[in-house]
Amino acid sequence: MTTAVPAPAPVDVAAGRPVSAPERRPASRFSVGRTLKYAILLVSLVLVLIPVYVLIVTSFKGPGDATPARAWALPQLWTMDNWTAAWETLSPSLFRSVQMVVPASIISAFLGSMNGFVLSRWSFRGANIVFTLILFGMFIPYQAVMIPLLQLMLGLDVPSGIPSLILVHVIYGIPITTLIFRNYYESVPKELIEAARVDGAGMLRTYVSVVLPISIPSFVVVLIWQFTSAWNDFLFAVFFSSSQNGPVTLALNNLANGALLQNYGVSMSGALLASLPTLLVYIVLGKYFIGGLMSGSVKG
Amino acid sequence: MKTVKRWGPPLLLLTPSLILIAVFVYGLIAVNFQTSFTDSHTAPQATGVMPTVFVGLENYAALLGSEAFQHSLKNLLLYTAVFLVGTMVIGFVWAWVLERPAKGEGFFRSVFLFPMAVSFIASGVVWRWLLNSNEGESALGLNRLFQIVGLDFLQNPWWNNVTWGIAAIAIPAIWQLSGYVMALFLAGFRGIPDELREAGRIDGASEWQLYRHVIFPQLSPVALSALIIIGHMSLKAFDLIMSISKPANYQTKVPAVDMYVFKSSFDYANSAAVGAILLIIVALLIIPYLVYTSRKEGGR
């Protein structure tokens, strides 16, 4: 254990309530410290939201508003043109991204769950070494396997584009999903599984009928994690697909960098479109999202 | 028969992943080293039409001796330093401010964390505009904002500066990851038992002494995790640079970008060598950390 973070269910962290800390000071009392804290918060808020302002405002600007002098001003005329143009360019790749992340996250979640269960409940000599060896796969810079990986995929005749990307996201997702599930199963009371064993259930039976049903919170965390990282991936996308058959990150980058004349309005609408799915997940399932982030930081 | 029953099911669950990790992580790393020791610098060699010759460490020597690659390494160092200091300081301050229950803290936390859900490519679109290097009349983005608020002297070419340009690319990275470091520190703060603080107060410790002797030591494992995670991300920096400047841009190139550029020109040997160098840098950082954490776990 590295940190004191309980993974993968840090609901307390997410909900933001300290476990047992009543207000120590009267809330109404004015103090320099308090004022300073709110000043820091407000300034930070403004700074963090600057790019959001730019994205939204620029995405609704028409060509007449594109002059540098009006760079920070609100649109004179709000228009949806950029959004429709961005949608037309990006929609095929958005659908491809969906086709990629759904299988990629489901398959790697199941693999992680199986590994996590075995590694947490079945101790053999060297189990810890096996676990560390798996974990190391999470830390390698993928640049160090990319050239042989390209050749291997070519040799195996895996079609470029979404099939290749599903495969690499599943494989290189194994370490993190194993980690999250192992930590979760370590926290499951041993008695639960022992009881199943006494009832005569073998390991596979125990896994399917006892372990899987109680793993749902971890599945949510892992699925969100894999969904987000596959959706946002660019490195594998640029090596294993083209803008004709690749995910939305690649198409967006081509949209933003490809045109001779910079059309910031369209690319910013595109950036917002491409970010909507992950932002939606963050807003709706925020605590699980943070759960994934936290467990990503906890080794062992 | 008994052995089969004992070893069979767990092996059945674990084997697929073990094989995949063995082949796609360790196997490919080995092949990558092998490629990096050859003279495979041309397309016919990359596709196996022409033979390659073993050249030992020649590619490494040439790379490390070349001014262009040294520039990449220097950029990587500078980027990592700015990224680390920025996220650690901002993340800690936010966590420190939000640690005590305050009005609206949940809102602030969510806002500070949301950039994490967005891909580097999407945020690159808006940061490319914000960090536009035009000044004066044609200034956009932050340079224009500086003019508006009367801080004209702050205008600068951002990423277009050969020496310091890469530090500008670290700004969006800090924008995206500070919230993550905050979340880690918040979890750390909440892991400190109230009794510890109370005991310190009763002993008459000043607020500073309390931090110095009680809180900082308790937070150091979290800080270490954050350092490792951010440092590791930083070494793999690629997406943001591809999206904000151009891959061929000398000012902002880093090893990961070189790797891609070499691959694009079918110089597989140099591409593999850059990947291997990145792997070695990451391993120097990660292996002591993994050993340290698994030791700690053994002693638990």
ipTM, interface predicted TM-score of the complex: 0.90
User: Using CB atoms and an 8 Å cut-off, which of residues 250-269 of chain B contact chain A?
Assistant: 255-256, 259-260, 263, 268
Residues of chain A where predicted confidence (pLDDT) is lower than 50 = 1-27, 298-300
User: Using CB atoms and an 8 Å cut-off, which of residues 3-22 of chain A contact chain B?
Assistant: 3-5, 10, 12-13, 15-21
Write down the CATH superfamily of domain B73-263.
Answer: MetI-like (1.10.3720.10)
Residue A238 contacts B, CB cutoff 8 Å: yes
Measured between CA atoms, the residue of chain A closest to residue B40 is A147
Closest CA to B83 of B180, B162, B151: B180
Pick one of 2.60.40.10, 1.10.1270.20, 1.10.3720.10, 1.10.3210.10 as the CATH number of A81-295. Answer: 1.10.3720.10
Q: Is B38 helix (H, G, I), strand (E, B) or coil?
A: strand
3-state helix, strand, coil in chain B (%, to 5): 75, 0, 20
**Sign of the four-CA dihedral B245, B250, B255, B258:** positive
* CB burial of residue A103 (10 Å; 0-12, 13-18, 19+): middle
Record the pTM: 0.88
Measured between CA atoms, the residue of chain A closest to residue B11 is A118
Q: Using the beta-carbon criterion (under 8 Å), do B29 and A274 form an inter-chain contact?
A: no
| H-run or E-run covering B274 | helix B268-298
Q: Return the minimum-mean-pLDDT range out of A170-179, A280-289, B18-27, B263-272.
A: A280-289
User: Using CB atoms and an 8 Å cut-off, which of residues 35-94 of chain A contact chain B?
Assistant: 37-38, 40-41, 44-45, 48-51, 54-55, 58, 68, 71-72
Q: From CA B181, how far away is CA B226, in angstroms rounded?
A: 6
Per-residue CA distances from B93 to A15, B84, B89 (Å): 20, 14, 6
Is the pLDDT at B83 greater than 60? The verdict is: yes
Q: Where are the domains of chain B?
A: 34-65+266-300, 73-263
Q: How far is A118 from chain B (nearest CA, A)?
A: 6
Q: How many CB atoms lie within 10 A of CB A148?
A: 23
Q: Using the beta-carbon criterion (under 8 Å), do B102 and A48 form an inter-chain contact?
A: no
Quote the pLDDT of residue B169.
92
Question: Residues A248, A277: contact at Cβ < 8 Å?
Answer: no
Contacts of A19 in chain B (CB under 8 A): 190
**Which residues, in sequence order, are bridge partners of residue B38?**
B54
- Angle, helices B141-148/B120-130, rounded to nearest 10 degrees: 50
Selected residue with higher pLDDT from A138 and B296? A138
* CB burial of residue A260 (10 Å; 0-12, 13-18, 19+): exposed
Quote the pLDDT of residue A261.
56
Quote the pLDDT of residue A173.
94
Question: Residues A135, A70: contact at Cβ < 8 Å?
Answer: no
User: Using CB atoms and an 8 Å cut-off, which of residues 133-162 of chain B contact chain A?
Assistant: 134, 137-141, 144-145, 148
Quote the pLDDT of residue B1.
53
Is the pLDDT at B123 greater than 90? The verdict is: yes
Measured between CA atoms, the residue of chain A closest to residue B222 is A3
**Sign of the four-CA dihedral B74, B76, B79, B83:** negative
> For chain A, what's the residue count?
300
Contacts of A270 in chain B (CB under 8 A): 125
